[in-house]
A and B are shown apart, each in its own frame.
Chain A
């Protein structure tokens, strides 16, 4: 593997500006790596060589004129298959959207283009982002670069695997209940779910609109900061978009001294694998060594996050996915001669089992007679979770917890028992319910399997700066984020 592929996105950007390599050369190195590694890993659903080359040439001209529009100008980026790219098939991992070519770019994609990044193509994902392993993808699963018999996590499994296997230095994912942070953890890379509203959702195929958020997956916290600074902006086309403060990259001082970090007892209790616990608590010790104050505390609402999350996410999904009717876009059944039959059959054929299950569950919790007991109750629980987290974050600057209860599961292990798969989201859904920024980053390998373990830090609203400063300080003093295994080597 070429050495340049192992550098971070920011380092690749710097090499371009110094003239060490040109943007088309950097692109070709990544395309070569994709041709070598992706037949086995299947991180990409589509690679747009011609489009990427044109963008790389334009970026190169800008760099040569001294007009690089960002520190990541000319750097390749992979885009999750639920983020619209004009004219590029955006299938959302679903048969339903097979062949769908959006007539517009998502706001996040517009911003990356304006910053001179080079769009490699679309990455594989669980169907409509519904899954924790990328196995519900209509086109088949992605494999974990550390161990091809394992899942990369999900739903942004393709994005995490692409970054882990050095096929892209940076990728966009989306995170509704952990879909950036958990695959980042399973693939040994770093991922950021920004504050709800920091990044426009315009052009992100909707799953659960009150929880969805686009964010970066990269190999370092500094890369996530650089990408976040480009992505975060107010956008009138998304009424919930507020933008953010920006300047995240410039605020990385390398210091974690004086930070108060809380560790919730409930997140280290029963259900957490011993090897994962050891690594995440090891990260806590490292933060202490960097001058942070680490303290345990109790967060009694933690066990209620998963059931509340699944009620709310499925309810919103059942509403959002009602747009797929076989008429405007997407799959249309052949045969039915009345409109209702056309919708019912198109939706049965277009959606896979997990999407159907969530639509039905969401329909149930919103239906007459059950709305109060399920949906309204979950909204009340969501309020309590937000309140308790906000209270904890007056005592602490950051909360440290595992990204997942175990390392990456073997392919095929999770699909048979959906409830078990839902429970594995226990540490990630809280950040979405509370709308808070949260990053996951590698903190070493689990002893028995040698597979990467991810820790998460959770911060107050709009404090991506403080959050990434802490992760960056951790990465300046450790080299876990540089570890590679299996095909990632």
Chain B
């Protein structure tokens, strides 16, 4: 599987991740090489196998819907790069 530069730009958009222009060539080549290697999975017959179910690992599913104390807001905001009036600060999103 080859990833071309249009596909890479699409992935960057989906992942909200910029890539420096000078790194793109190398990333394209490395991803292509890794995906080529992953082709060997097609040699293994999985026709009659169900996909592994991640949710089955959860012990009791959802916990009881009982309110409890949340973490302290001020303590959480101490790690925010920018906060104001008890809230995260972001660039204007609505004109």
A148 at interface, CB cutoff 8 A: no
Query: Which residues does chain B contribute within 8 Å of A328, judged by CB atoms?
Result: 79-80, 88
Given contacts A304-B41, A347-B17, contact A242 B59 (CB under 8 A): yes
State how many angstroms separate the Cβ of B77 from the closest Cβ of chain A. 9
Chain B positions 3 through 19: 1 when the CB is less than 8 Å from some CB of chain A, otherwise 0:
10001101110111111
Beta-carbon contact of A382 and B52 below 8 Å: yes
Given contacts A210-B54, A240-B59, A360-B8, are A419 and B37 in contact (CB under 8 A)? yes
Interface size on A, residues (CB 8 A): 68
**B12–A381 CB distance below 8 A:** no
A-B contact pairs, 5 of them (CB 8 A): A210-B54, A329-B79, A330-B79, A363-B15, A419-B30
B30 to chain A: closest residue by CB? A418
Whether A418 contacts B34 by the Cβ 8 Å rule is yes
Q: How far is the CB of B83 from chain A (nearest CB, A)?
A: 10
Q: A343 to chain B: which residues have CB within 8 Å?
A: 16
- In this complex, how many residues of chain B approach chain A with their Cβ under 8 Å: the count is 53
Of the candidates A239, A318, A382, the one whose C-beta lies within 8 Å of that of B59 is A239
**Closest CB-CB distance, A239 to chain B, in whole Å?**
4
Report whether B41 and A381 are in contact in the complex, using a CB–CB cutoff of 8 Å.
yes
Say whether A101 contacts B16, CB under 8 Å: no
Find the B residue at minimum CB distance from A368.
B14
**A197 in contact with B17 (CB, 8 Å):** no
Q: Does B57 contact A (CB under 8 A)?
A: yes
Contact residues in B for A418 (Cβ distance below 8 Å): 30, 34
- Contact (Cβ within 8 A) B82 A332: yes
Of B15, B35, B57, B92, the contact of A359 (CB 8 Å cutoff)? B15
Instruction: Choose one: B34, B57, B71; the contact of A196 (CB below 8 Å).
Output: B57
User: A325 with B57: in contact, given A360-B27, A380-B49 (CB under 8 Å)?
Assistant: no
9 A-B pairs with the lowest CB-CB distances in the bound complex, closest first: A379-B51, A332-B81, A380-B46, A103-B75, A329-B79, A348-B18, A382-B52, A239-B58, A307-B38
B69 interfacial by beta-carbon distance below 8 Å = no
> B85 to nearest A CB, angstroms?
15
Return the CB mask of A274-309 against B: 1 if under 8 Å, else 0.
000000000000000000000000000101100110
Other-chain contact of B18, A344, A357, A377 (Cβ < 8 Å): A344
Question: If the complex has contacts A308-B41, A384-B49, are A348 and B81 also in contact, measured as CB distance less than 8 A?
Answer: no
B72 contacts the other chain (Cβ, under 8 Å)?
yes
Does A419 contact B90, Cβ atoms closer than 8 Å? no
**Cβ of A253 under 8 Å from chain B:** no
Chain B residue with Cβ nearest A344? B18
Q: Compute how far the CA of A240 lies from the CA of B72 in the bound complex, rounded to whole angstroms.
A: 25
Contact between chains at B81 and A327 (CB < 8 Å): yes
Are the C-beta atoms of B11 and A322 separated by less than 8 Å? no
Closest A residue to B7 using CB positions: A364
Given contacts A332-B81, A367-B11, A383-B50, contact A197 B44 (CB under 8 A): no
Report which of A311, A331, A339, A382 forms a contact with B81, defined as CB distance below 8 A: A331
A422's contact among B17, B34, B42, B91, by CB below 8 Å, is which?
B34
Q: Does B65 contact A (CB under 8 A)?
A: no
How many whole Å from A56's CB to the nearest CB in chain B?
Answer: 26
Closest Cβ of chain B to A330, distance in Å, is 7
Q: Contact mask B59-93 → A, CB, 8 Å, 1/0? A: 11111000000011001101111100000101111
> Contact check: which of B8, B49, B79, B91 meets A339 at CB < 8 Å?
B91
